[in-house]
Amino acid sequence: MKTLLVAEYRDGKLLNSTYELLAFAQQLGADSAMFLVGSDTALPQYNGTLYLADVGKYSEFNPKVHKQLLLDVIAEEQPDYVVFSHSSYGWDLAPRISLALGAAHASEVVEIADGVPVLPVCNAKLRRQIKSKTAQLVITLQAGAFALEGEPGGSPNLVAIDTDTAAQLEFGGYEEAEAGGVDLSKAEVIVSAGRGIGKPDNMGIIQELAKALKGEYGASRPVVDAEWVDRNRQVGTTGQTVSPKLYVACGISGAIQHLAGMKQSEFVVAINTDKDAPIGEVADVLVVADLKEFLPLFTKKIVECRK
């Protein structure tokens, strides 16, 4: 079994998601080679062959050219899996590669089970295992779903690659989205509300706990989609990535897209009526309780202790 891992380079840096690609290969027990349009001044710690195209020449975004560079490497390596991150770069390039190869494409892989990729379905309420009918499979990996066992190490065996494919566009650079509202990434304490709060009126008990802990409040996506909380407070893959000292997850199940945004938190307390909720897997403390009963008592105790 062989994987070709498509690493990413952004704004002069190698992205850390490179190591999630490596973790996928590790979990699959597969050999790997890596592809990068990047620079030899920012290489991954990796003990394998790295096909490197010069970002100065081919730029960070140039689909037609990157596609050709990658197809040439695929022809050389003949991988079973071509593996991208589920990022704007991966969303763009993976379907182009899949189409060019006539290979199946699986988007947003979160796990490997019985040796095959697993994808979330029904808004992550269910998971399905997929087996490709084509010899090669092109996949994207959900951010945060795969973590390396042990530290990465080594220096890659570099193979410089080139193409004479003409570019059809010129990449102008990235523009930061306008930062509106609160910057949760700097908060030391975050109390987040999930769908388990039941109704918008219950946001009050979340905000009171956040205030008692001198922190900020956040939310999972359904709470934001329901417009109970501003979008700029959403935590997760399509919201903010946070790493507070304390994260209190209230009525949040722990879907992979939420975990990807908060699992770097130092200490996680979860309040959930379901003792088997997946948030329990990352929580340091899981309180099995109805948040409507537990939170007001908890907040009262904290306020008393602070007096």
Site residues (CB under 6 A) for ligand FAD?
123-124, 194-196, 220-222, 234-239, 251-253, 255, 257-258, 261, 271-274, 277, 290-292
Long-range contacts of 290-299 (CB under 8 A, 24+ apart): 291/196, 291/197, 291/202, 291/205, 291/250, 291/251, 292/198, 292/202, 292/205, 295/205, 295/206, 295/208, 295/209, 295/250, 295/271, 296/205, 296/208, 298/209, 299/205, 299/208, 299/209, 299/212
Please count the other Cβ atoms lying within 10 Å of the Cβ belonging to residue 213: 20
Residue closer to ligand FAD (CB basis): 130 or 159: 130
Q: Residue 293 burial by CB count (10 A; 0-12/13-18/19+): exposed, middle or buried?
A: exposed
Question: What minimum distance in Å lies between the beta carbon of 280 and ligand FAD?
Answer: 9
Minimum gap (Å) between residue 228 Cβ and ligand FAD = 11
C-beta of 11 vs 276, nearer to ligand FAD: 276
Of 79 and 218, the one with the shorter C-beta distance to ligand FAD is 218
Q: Which is nearer to ligand FAD, 49 or 257 (CB)?
A: 257
In the numeric block, which tokens belong to residue 76?
């050389």
Minimum CB–partner distance for residue 190 and ligand FAD (Å): 13
Shortest Å, Cβ 221 to ligand FAD: 3
| Side chain identity, residue 141 | L
- Between residues 163 and 243, which has the closer beta carbon with respect to ligand FAD? 243
Residue closest to ligand FAD, measured at CB: 236
The least CB distance from residue 244 to ligand FAD, in Å, is: 16
Q: Hey, CA dihedral for 243, 248, 250, 254, is it positive or negative?
A: positive
Q: Which C-beta is closer to ligand FAD: that of 55 or that of 270? A: 270
Q: How far is the CB of 207 from ligand FAD (least distance, A)?
A: 16
